[in-house]
Amino acid sequence: MTESYDASKIQVLEGAEAVRKRPGMYIGSTSERGLHHLVYEVVDNSIDEALAGYCSKVLVIIHPDNSITVEDDGRGIPTDMMPNEGKTALEVIFTKLHAGGKFDKNSYKVSGGLHGVGISVVNALSEKTDVQVFRNGQEVRMSFSRGKPTTDMIKVGPTERRGTIVTFKPDAEIFTTLEYHYDILASRLRELAFLNKGVEITLKDERTEKEQTFLYKGGINEFVDHLNKNKTPLHSTIHMEGEKSGVQAEIALQYNDGYSENVYSFVNNINTIEGGTHLSGFKTALTRTLNSYADKQSGGKVKISSDDTREGLSAVISVKVPEPQFEGQTKTRLGNSEVKGIVDSLVNTKLAQFLEENPKEARIIVEKSVNAAKAREAARKARDLTRRKGVLDGNALPGKLADCSNKDPAQSEIYIVEGDSAGGSAKQGRNKEFQAILPLRGKILNVEKARLHKMFSSQQIVTLVTALGCGIADDFNIEKTRYHKIVIMTDADVDGAHIRTLLLTFFFRYLRPLIDAGYIYIAQPPLYKVSKNKRNYWIYTDEEYKRLIDEIGEEGIGVQRYKGLGEMNADQLWDTTMDPEHRKMLKVTVEDAVAADQLFTLLMGSEVPPRRDFIEQNAKLAENIDI
């Protein structure tokens, strides 16, 4: 007998209940990313006040218990009664979804938080929320727990202050982690300060006494300077600004002598990581304008592609749109068709004007793109040559690859190991059903200092790309990736760390979608094997080693320090590093793309002085150095 499906089976979840039942729908996840997103939601309200011209300072405090305070000097949340609700505006804003001033275009012409769910979602997912409002000469307070009021709105008394203070503690029942990372918050707050020139944003960590204030009167011009830190800029920053039909567009760009593209686009302060109409308008106009200028100079002999015009380019595109329409999987791609034409027209006019007025810098920019076009042609020839040799063809896998028998990429893993010795142990110890082994001999090419055509003459890179099956550059297709776990497994010494960094540089610069898809991992082989009373302990860090020696004592112990994977026999390597039941692996993610870019430039780029400074500042932190 089938159970009846009628009106009695329909559930209606309201407000906090709906959010707590499906938190991922509102903040993306209940892990580290969602935890930090709570802070962004509250800060966005303060930034919206700044966009409206009423807020100049924002303070974010991480407390010792990982609760957060966000304070601003805006107008303060309205506290008067809402006749239709029978409640104060303060209570409605903190407890009802889709309630706020974002829908009234007189209050906020543009806004990051468009759906009016931000603060009520934070409240619903916090075990405790306290709010103080300073408005119209009065201070009021109210407290909540898990989205519901625990006090009435209390009038504290008269005040000369203005603004809002929100303190919340994320709910342990919801989140898998409750620890805030200073660097992750600092990255987003720095970004907001760049995008909103003149707004002072301070981050204070009471756990460590660390504190930073972000204030950029130069706005996105300073953002571009920050992107080109440790690089060699080729000219002064080009700044463009304009408004049409209520849409404000601002762009800053500067070329450097590197080969990677660093273009960031924002809509109402939201990082549109999937791009959209504003980014495509920028790319189209950039290519057309540079081609037009190059044609005049060369008599039509040069043809520059869109990719050529973005080699070594650092740029920030920031648009403020009254009614943005977001698309894409993560709702971070702008869909407004009118914005494309507005950005296109702005770049076309202003960039052409700059090139005409600055012939020396114009020549440098065009030469950069022309050289990129030549290198692209050289890369095409090199790729065709490798294809003719049967390499880069999925049917001709490299001889060094010990493949797995499973052909389902989602079930398959590949271990990239250094040298034949480690490769031998790994091949013997692996599970052949789903684990492939690819040994690479020596150090791969440092791609930070090389264009694409050089990579096709690098045997290790060709071997790696062929084994992965996803192609590279114009041929890249993530759907063809043969393994959904790509594990870098190197020795625990300086050489191993260098090889790991070279591989990560390659993945970040040329196969970044594999990182974004969560396919790249770093194996964690043990540093020590400690034996006592016929029992073996596998130790992964020096701290863990010291802790074990309090616990078991030094008398009668045997210690083996592993410097190379080849020192382990096959079953030890399986037990400690490759067995899915017991292994430890780090998933490679990019939380802060700007910081990651700067680190790769610093460690692997051609500028020596910044790297020397970095080494001098961090030398004391280095461990396991072979002398």
Please report, for the chain, the start and end positions of each structural domain, with discontinuous segments joined by +. 16-214, 220-372, 389-525+585-621
How does the average pLDDT of the chain come out, rounded? 87
Catalytic-residue membership of 493: yes
> Does the pLDDT of residue 107 top 60, yes or no?
no
- β-sheet bridge partners, residue 88: 81
Catalytic-residue membership of 205: no
State the Cα–Cα distance between residues 129 and 116, nearest whole angstrom: 18
Characterise 125 by phi-psi region: left (phi > 0), alpha (psi -120 to 50), beta (else). Answer: alpha
> What is the CATH topology of the domain spanning 389-525+585-621?
Rossmann fold (3.40.50)
Res. 13 pLDDT band, cuts 50 70 90: very low
Q: What is the pLDDT of residue 169?
A: 97
Catalytic-residue membership of 495: yes
Q: What is the pLDDT of residue 96?
A: 85
Say which of 73, 308, 344, 491 is annotated catalytic: 491
Q: How far is CA 438 from CA 82, 155, 435, 489, 602, in A?
A: 66, 68, 10, 10, 29
- β-sheet bridge partners, residue 560: 529
For residues 282 and 347, the answer to whether their CB atoms sit within 8 Å is yes
Written as six digits, the tokens of 180 are 């805030």
Q: What is the pLDDT of residue 453?
A: 83
- Residues constituting the chain: 627
As a whole-number percent, the residues of the chain with pLDDT over 70 amount to 91
For residues 89 and 230, the answer to whether their CB atoms sit within 8 Å is no
- Superfamily of 16-214 according to CATH: Histidine kinase-like ATPase, C-terminal domain (3.30.565.10)
> Does the pLDDT of residue 115 top 50, yes or no?
no
For residues 133 and 79, the answer to whether their CB atoms sit within 8 Å is yes
Q: What is the pLDDT of residue 116?
A: 40
CA-wise closest residue to 138 among 157, 120, 122: 157
CA-wise closest residue to 100 among 80, 77, 121: 77
Q: Once rounded to an integer, what is the mean pLDDT over residues 45-56?
A: 91
Q: Lowest-confidence range among 100-114, 136-150, 309-323, 449-463?
A: 100-114
Res. 11 pLDDT band, cuts 50 70 90: very low
Say which of 274, 495, 579, 591 is annotated catalytic: 495
Strand ranges, E, within 173-295: 200-205, 210-214, 238-244, 247-255, 262-267, 270-271
Catalytic-residue membership of 491: yes
pLDDT tens-digit map of 188-226: 999 999 999 999 999 999 999 999 999 999 999 999 999
Relative to beta strand 57-62, strand 270-271 is unpaired
For 220-372, give the CATH class.
alpha beta
For the chain, the first-to-last Cα distance in angstroms comes to 77
Query: What pTM was estimated for this model as a whole?
Result: 0.80
For residues 576 and 539, the answer to whether their CB atoms sit within 8 Å is no
Say which of 241, 493, 579, 591 is annotated catalytic: 493
